[in-house]
Chain A
Amino acid sequence: MKISIALPDTILTNHDLELGFNDPRWTAEKIYSKTGIESRHIACKETVSDLAVQASQNLINEHSLDIKCIDFVLLCTQSPDYSLPTTACLIQHRLGLSNNIGALDFNLGCSGFVYGLSLAQGLLLAGACSNILLIMAETYSKYINFNDKSTRTIFGDGASALHLTRKSVNNIGKFVFGTDGSGFNHLIVPSGGGAIPHSSETRIESSDEAGNIRSLENLYMNGPEIFSFTIRTVPELIFSTLDRNSLTIDDVDLFVFHQANAFLLENLRLKIGIPKEKFYVNLKFCGNTVSASIPIALYHAIKAGKIKSNYTVLIAGFGVGYSWGATIVHFSDI
């Protein structure tokens, strides 16, 4: 599986946040102890298509990919360059790809990478195309209010790009999916769509009980509820995925979950019973990059030698929607 990533140039450290918040309860150390995040990359000038193109160019350079072979572009994002047109169309143009290819965006968050692999597998095995460029690119920071500590400390921006062929998707196991739209309002940008169009009212900022300030145009996260959802849902997701692939925890070499926050991941690890050495955490320098978090973690795990040839890796994404999914990836060659 060929993976590359791109991170925006600007780095926001916990020290920067401490100075900006100017609240004695939010020191750099406390932010790190609560989240496991020390710094995150923020797209000040880059858009999602900029990060997607950069990740794709890194894929071309790092893996000697002949970009002309790409005959389908799949982009997962919730912060597209425009409401319309489709950002994947811009990427086709900017990468100089043929006009005779397919390109589409799909809107998912933290579960997006798992769904992207499934979509790619379906297209490839159906014979619809032969070489897919699967991109995850997210710039949640553009939705986040400067004075919302609950989201600003957690999320970072980033992108990943993968080249998938019929041969490579044979190394992907069976999928488990889940959806519960009743949780739609716990992680949401309320306005800007058809339900609540932007207006002068949607720009009005207000403070919640914890002193976080946001408007209806900003990202809102109900942290405790999201946490509760994950511990209700993820253990069962993992056991179902193992079961569907006739595997046990012992058979899996590495577990790579959506990198939500370190505190949540550690509690999930303990609850599921995954040995520490088999559980990859990769938050410290990029934060929660939403759909890009799993492939960014895989990229770093490969670089760090935590994933070796013939490793069996369980990946699991969960969050906004609510939406969740997991599968097994066999890394036949690195």
Chain B
Amino acid sequence: MNNYLLKVSEALGINNKNINTETLLVDLEEWDSMGKISLIIFLDKNYNIQITADHIYKFVTVGDIVKLISSLGE
């Protein structure tokens, strides 16, 4: 799981020490429109999936992003 938290941190440009799967995205300063755009790019670059913003807006916790990344495999 740590590995996935690292990936989320990398995607959003934050320090992984500050987050866990329960962290509410709304509490993260990095989860602004540029943060959401950074996640779109991260997923495109690393997994070649083009996710819609509507999909991203449904995420509530860091765990929701972890779930998506873990479902995409390595």
Contact = CB atoms under 8 A, between A and B. Distances in A.
Interface stretch (B3-11, B16-24, B35-43, B63-71): B35-43
A227 B32 CA distance: 14
B33 A232 contact: no
Given A223-B37, A267-B41, A271-B44, A228 B32 contact: no
A267 B33 CA distance: 16
Q: Which size bracket describes the interface of A in this complex? A: 10 to 19
B10 to A, nearest CB: 15
B34 A228 contact: no
Nearest to A34: B34
Given A223-B33, A224-B33, A231 B41 contact: yes
B19 to A, nearest CB: 19
A231 B42 CA distance: 12
Contact of B32 (A210, A222, A231, A232): A210
Q: Which size bracket describes the interface of B in this complex? A: 10 to 19
Contact of B52 (A150, A225, A270): A225
Contacts of B54: 225
B15 interface: no
B29 A227 contact: no
Contact of B53 (A150, A209, A222, A270): A222
B72 interface: no
Contacts of A25: 29, 32
A263 interface: yes
Contacts of B26: 209
Contacts of A223: 33-34, 36-37
Nearest to B54: A225
A263 B29 contact: no
Contacts of A271: 44-45
Given A231-B40, A231-B41, A231-B44, A225 B29 contact: no
A44 to B, nearest CB: 27
A228 B53 contact: yes
Give the one of A150, A210, A224, A271 with max B CB within 10 A. A224
Contacts of A264: 37
B68 to A, nearest CB: 14
A228 B52 contact: yes
B51 interface: yes
A150 B26 CA distance: 18
Contacts of B60: none
A227 to B, nearest CB: 5
Contacts of B1: none
A228 B53 CA distance: 7
A231 B44 CA distance: 8
B28 interface: no
Nearest to B52: A228
Contacts of A227: 37, 40-41, 53
A150 B35 CA distance: 13
Interface in A222-245: 222-225, 227-228, 231-232
Interface string B46-64: 0000111110110000000
B33 A210 contact: yes
A224 B41 CA distance: 10
B44 A224 contact: no
A222 B52 CA distance: 11
A151 B32 CA distance: 14
13 contacts: A25-B32, A150-B33, A210-B33, A222-B53, A223-B34, A224-B53, A227-B40, A227-B41, A231-B41, A232-B50, A264-B37, A267-B41, A271-B44
Ranked 10 nearest A-B pairs via Cβ = A225-B53, A224-B53, A224-B36, A223-B33, A232-B50, A227-B37, A228-B53, A228-B40, A224-B37, A267-B41
Interface of B: 26, 29, 32-34, 36-37, 40-41, 44-45, 50-54, 56-57
